[in-house]
Amino acid sequence: MAVMTYREALKAAMVSEMERDESVVMLGEDIGVYGGTHLITDGLIDRFGPKRIIDTPIAEGGFTGAAIGMAMLGMRPIVEMMTWNFSFQASDQIIQNAAKLRYFSGGQVSVPMVIRGPNGGGVQLSAQHTHSLEGFYGHFPGLKVVSPATPADVKGMMISAIRDPDPVIFLEAGALYGTKGEVPDEDEAVPFGQARVVREGTDVTLIAYGRQVNLLHRIADTLAEKEDVSAEVIDLRSIRPFDEATIVASVRKTNRAVVVQEQWRWFSVASEVAAIIQEQAFDDLDAPVERVSGEEVPAPYARNLELAAFPGEQQIIDAVHRALYRRT
């Protein structure tokens, strides 16, 4: 296995699929000559040319709509959102067209496209550039929504996304672009709808996705070393489709659950996870499901305020204590 950054693994997946399949193209703002705001597409215009690496105007609704048309006619476009906030401009195209065309056509027309870009906080981009949109897009049937946390998963899930016959919302954590990990040398697709058990445990189940997974792994180490608490850590990876079975099996083993997310608490992924646990594992619970979420405020720019706005280690440990009835 090679050691790669999240950014390098993501790029490697897209390059491999573009070399394998000539119908794969990319569209987005500054992805060509400039190389992408986050350097994900750096050098690709020299490799594939401007007909496959397409620099677009600042018009998300326009180039997303164009990509939907491409997909309907047999191409496999990858659309980059410079940040997922900018997808609000294209949300009508994504929700009203991309998500519904297979249904509208009675299965005659598919929309095999990927819409990707940085999601969530942690990089001081302030309120207009910092949203966690997994709950928003995960609400709509017809869209697949994934949020990989490791270089290996971002490569494998991007391969799956490009090959998928339906539109995929691919949420990358901008704060993870520079993180490193082992990545298989082969182009191994990681299937959607399968959560990953990051760490086995017996006392409490910690559940997250995206950049919060790494935080939970560190907290599990701390709990084991300082409090003799064995925490199981689960990375959801896929928001829609969702792996209910892995979550329920873990809670039936540990009898307690803490769900962590960056997005706001109300109408969120954590709310859905808590509901699923209550519906399918209520008799196995020894304590209420705890949720740790972002503060109900627009994301601040100042670093100290940004840190306060998103889940931190002590907040999560406090939630674990409540689940274990170790109140301080």
Q: 316 near 258, Cβ under 8 Å?
A: yes
Note whether 130 and 240 are same-domain residues: no
Smallest CA-to-CA distance from 102 within 132, 72, 77 is with 72
Q: 179 with 253, same domain?
A: no
Instruction: Give me the pLDDT at residue 56, please.
Output: 97
**Exactly one of 8, 80, 129, 172 is catalytic; which is it?**
129
Using CA atoms of 148, 79, 261, 178 in order, give the dihedral in degrees to the nearest 10: 60
- Domain span at residue 275 reads 196-323
- Same structural domain for residues 207 and 163? no
Mean pLDDT on 132-141: 95
Asked if residue 128 and residue 15 are part of one domain, the reply reads yes
What integer is the mean pLDDT of 134-157? 97
Is pLDDT above 80 for 288? yes
Q: What are phi and psi of 31, to 5 degrees?
A: -85, -15
209 domain residue, yes or no: yes
Token pair 């999601």 in the structure block, residue: 119
Instruction: Give pLDDT tens digits for 215-238.
Output: 999 999 999 999 999 999 999 999
In a domain, 221, yes or no: yes
Q: Does 179 lie in the same domain as 213?
A: no
* Residue 129 bears catalytic tag: yes
Same domain assignment for residues 79 and 172: yes
pLDDT for 121 equals 82
- From first CA to last CA, the distance across the chain in angstroms is 44
Confidence of residue 128 (pLDDT cuts 50, 70, 90): confident
Q: At what angle do helices 6-20 and 151-163 cross, to 10 degrees?
A: 30
| DSSP-derived 3-state class of residue 190 | coil
pLDDT at residue 52 above 90? Answer: yes
| Domain end (from 121, 152, 183) | 183
| pLDDT above 70 (res 181) | yes
For residue 189, tell me if it sits in a domain: no
Chain centroid to CA 237:
6
Average pLDDT, the chain: 95
Q: Where are the alpha helices (DSSP H) in the chain?
A: 6-20, 44-48, 60-72, 91-92, 101-104, 134-138, 151-163, 212-227, 244-254, 269-281, 303-309, 313-323
Give yes or no: 60 in active site: yes
Determine, yes or no, domain membership for 92.
yes
88 belongs to a structural domain: yes
71 & 9 share domain: yes
Q: Which two tokens stand for residue 14?
A: 């897209």
**Where residue 79 sits, what CATH number does that domain have?**
3.40.50.970
- Other C-beta atoms closer than 10 Å to the C-beta of 49 total 11
pLDDT in tens, 138-147: 999 999 999 9
Whether 165 and 238 map to the same domain: the answer is no
- Residue 43's pLDDT is 95
Model confidence at 129, in pLDDT bands (50, 70, 90)? confident
Beta carbons of 27 and 65 less than 8 angstroms apart: no
Full-model pTM = 0.95
pLDDT score for 54: 97
How far is the C-alpha of 131 from the C-alpha of 171, rounded, in Å?
11
Residue 219 to residues 192, 212, 227, 230, 311: CA-CA distances in angstroms? 26, 11, 11, 11, 12
Last residue of a domain, one of 155, 183, 211: 183
Please state the separation of Cα 238 from the chain's center in Å: 7
Which two three-digit tokens encode residue 102? 């297979």
Residue 218 belongs to domain with CATH number: 3.40.50.920
Catalytic residue among 8, 17, 29, 60: 60
Domain boundary among 151, 183, 215: 183
Mean pLDDT lowest among 7-16, 32-41, 244-253: 32-41
- Establish if 306 belongs to a structural domain: yes
Q: Is 191 domain-assigned? A: no
Kindly indicate the confidence band of residue 328, based on its pLDDT and cuts at 50, 70 and 90.
low
